[in-house]
Amino acid sequence: MTWYDSPGIERTAEGSVQVLRLLGDWTRDLPLELKRRASLLLSEDIRGPLVLDLTDLKFLDSWGEESIADLLQRVSDTGDPLAWVCDKVRSASYEGVRQALVRRQLAVAEFPSRTEAVASLKGPA
């Protein structure tokens, strides 16, 4: 039994909106091979519109926060619309991500649910 949940990304689409759901632990204390794998997952060519769903993260430290902010920055730089989801129960856990976005002067819409985030990027029906 390990002390961590391997980081992972589940990629799906809801219509024209891509959804990335981050899973497990995103921490600098992961074994080197898992950190490499996590970094590779986040460095894939990802185009928007994109919703980044953080509701299934187990643990997040500054390494994970910066990795997430890097991904959001890359998508934002393409001009594609994006949003991210963090549940209200653990909202304070995502403060580091918010601060990393502020340091980058990056405004990303934040939603309490995946449904709301996807709807915001789909636009009017």
pLDDT over 90 for what percent of the chain?
26
Q: Is the pLDDT of residue 19 over 60?
A: yes
Rg over alpha carbons for the chain, rounded to the nearest Å, is 14
Q: What whole-number distance in Å separates Cα of residue 11 and Cα of residue 34?
A: 18
Q: Is the pLDDT of residue 6 over 60?
A: yes
Which is higher by pLDDT, 96 or 48?
96
Q: Could you tell me the sign of the dihedral formed by the alpha carbons of 102, 121, 51, 56, in that order?
A: positive
Q: Is the pLDDT of residue 17 over 90?
A: yes
- Which pLDDT score is estimated for 28? 81
Q: What whole-number distance in Å separates Cα of residue 113 and Cα of residue 16?
A: 18
Which is higher by pLDDT, 29 or 44?
29
- pLDDT category at 47 given cuts 50, 70, 90 is confident
Q: With beta carbons less than 8 A apart as the criterion, state whether 83 and 53 touch.
A: no
Q: What whole-number distance in Å separates Cα of residue 17 and Cα of residue 15?
A: 6
- Which pLDDT score is estimated for 124? 63
- Which pLDDT score is estimated for 25? 82
Q: What whole-number distance in Å separates Cα of residue 50 and Cα of residue 76?
A: 10
- Tokens coding 58: 């187990």
Q: Which CATH superfamily is domain 8-119 in?
A: STAS domain (3.30.750.24)
pTM above the 0.95 mark? no
Average pLDDT, the chain: 83
**Which bin fits 123, alpha (ψ -120 to 50), beta or left (φ > 0)?**
left
- pLDDT category at 1 given cuts 50, 70, 90 is very low
Helices 95-103, 62-77: crossing angle, 10 deg rounding: 50
Residue 69 C-beta-side C-alpha neighbours within 13 Å? 21
